[in-house]
Chains A and B, each alone.
Chain A
């Protein structure tokens, strides 16, 4: 079923979206058929693009929207917002703290 689903969330993890979870986010986003967009203030980027997410520079506390458009939109938004709501300490961009 085609649908556009949007969810607003606040970045919780210390280093922001641009840091460690960015790569994970892109990998998960790419599993879905739906087009994924992230919006912050008046800026929107492709959620399947690591470069786009880096350009967004969303730090801890930033309010962003995840918008999915397609058959699996609902599931995509659920899974992706889940990633950003946890304080992910994994090491997805290879950064060892």
Chain B
């Protein structure tokens, strides 16, 4: 039993794992999946055959139920989804499981429900200890079948999504495949769960049902109450409980924008990202998982400008093996070829943490022991990643980028470790690209200001604006109270960006930008005019950026950028940029948000 929920009226934002994209706003419906629980009772020797008969009957009834669901799902969603249930039948009819239950029944002389739950618990316990995510995900299959059998034994009614009467955002600890499959299209507008990863059935079903979903929120069922208003952003993995009016408005706009892009801008996919006067820039996508490559390609991006690798290290107890990383990097490299993929080495710390490493609590984590600082101090972890990246570099156009470089020394230290790894691979005759390009992420003001020095040794720069802005303006980007100070258009930020681009170009290396700012539509013209070579943003932002690029002249963008640099406040620049966007790309100016989400 969970403790009673605390009443909340304040807005709460929860971050989980994005499972299926899209934004919905609606009332929460708390869906309880009962724990497997059965009353305990002693039985006599004579009752044993009676209990066995009850068990067999329950198995038969369950078989009928599952077959029915399987047919329904295969018909409505396709055979591949129906297969989940034929795997359920295998669990149901498992000879070892059935025999074990009967043997225990005879030995312990307890009622069948009790015995059954105990045996099933034993299997679930073993699987929940498994290192492999796939195996852990199987627990929900087994629980699903177990719950059905138990319901049939206890004669309890099948409670499913059927009792949903109005459009709701379903909130649950976990959703079994049967629960998800029975969701009424139209009534369930989105869902959020405590557990589950990107590869869990729940996430996969959500994607194919096209219902926005966030999983792995850990405590969403404790926080949300029945009937609470929630915003669910399945694209970014956010759930906002009791949102303020401002937030609802912001997300309604974002929702419109999202739908607009999905519908209208797909036509731009095969067109080149060049200005009216023929200046080409690379529009690349940011990804977190190999699966995200599909979206990058679908939105017409030219490669990947930021492949975040933290996902490997989070939500698990062990370290990812070199092999696991190699396979992922290789598959991404091969699919994105001939375009490039910029892999950012581990950027842990700050707002992210490794679940298996005891990272000390810090007063000021964004300025603490993180990213390249952590990697240089943990050469075993760092080298395993470098080896994986180098080995994968034989299969496509991979580039390597170090995060949070604050000066040339760190860049050199990281490169020295890279050289060690290269030597080792060479000695063992393992193929890799010896000329792999190595770049620095420029997100610390000191690196921006010494970018002339770093440019002499780096093969490219990528400006990480999220952190650059917060460090340059001394604004904690997760603190709501000072959010108004977080201004991408602040003159200090613009001149740092200009400095980095100019210093890069002096040494003839390309300069990209991979923060949220790249997807901030009003600012595209300015960044373009500053001479940026590559924009890397979340894939859904690509079509809009492309439309802006294709609607302007590079010569005009340069003038606009020059004017922006003369201005005194961020607000002035923002208004100026918006006005220019309205003139040049009126169709996008209407749904332009004042700042990215």
Contact = CB atoms under 8 A, between A and B. Distances in A.
Contacts of A51: 91, 94, 96-97, 123, 142
Contacts of B90: 23, 26-27, 50
Given A50-B94, A51-B94, A54-B138, A95 B132 contact: no
A57 B128 CA distance: 12
Interface in A19-41: 19, 23, 26-27
Interface residues of A, number: 26
Interface stretch (B79-87, B307-315, B340-348): B79-87
Contact of A95 (B91, B97, B134, B142): B134
Nearest to A91: B80
Nearest to A14: B327
A49 B101 CA distance: 14
Interface in A27-82: 27, 45-46, 48-52, 54-55, 57, 59
A91 B80 CA distance: 7
Contacts of B327: 14
Given A46-B96, A50-B87, A51-B91, A57 B80 contact: no
B134 A18 contact: yes
A57 B123 CA distance: 12
A23 B127 contact: no
Given A46-B96, A50-B90, A51-B94, A92 B83 contact: yes
Interface residues of B, number: 31
Given A26-B90, A49-B97, A94 B132 contact: no
A94 B87 contact: yes
B132 A93 contact: no
B96 A95 contact: no
B135 interface: yes
A48 B94 CA distance: 8
A93 B87 contact: yes
A62 to B, nearest CB: 12
A52 B138 contact: no
B135 A18 contact: yes
A24 to B, nearest CB: 10
Interface string B236-274: 000000000000000000000000000000000000000
Contacts of B85: 94
A27 to B, nearest CB: 7
Contacts of B86: 23, 94
B50 interface: no
B130 interface: yes
B135 A54 contact: yes
B132 A59 contact: yes
B95 A49 contact: yes
A78 B127 CA distance: 29
A84 B138 CA distance: 20
B94 A94 contact: no
Contacts of B546: none
B367 interface: no
A97 B199 contact: yes
A48 B95 contact: yes
Contacts of A16: 132
Contacts of A92: 83, 87
Interface string B112-151: 0000000000010011001010110110011000000000
Contacts of B27: none
Contacts of A26: 90
B585 interface: no
Nearest to A50: B90
Interface of A: 14-16, 18-19, 23, 26-27, 45-46, 48-52, 54-55, 57, 59, 91-97
11 contacts: A18-B132, A45-B96, A49-B94, A49-B95, A49-B96, A51-B142, A91-B80, A93-B87, A94-B177, A95-B199, A96-B80
Given A94-B87, A95-B201, A96-B208, 4 more contacts: A46-B95, A91-B83, A92-B87, A94-B85
Nearest 10 pairs of A and B residues by beta carbon: A94-B84, A49-B96, A50-B90, A94-B83, A93-B87, A23-B87, A51-B94, A49-B94, A46-B96, A96-B204
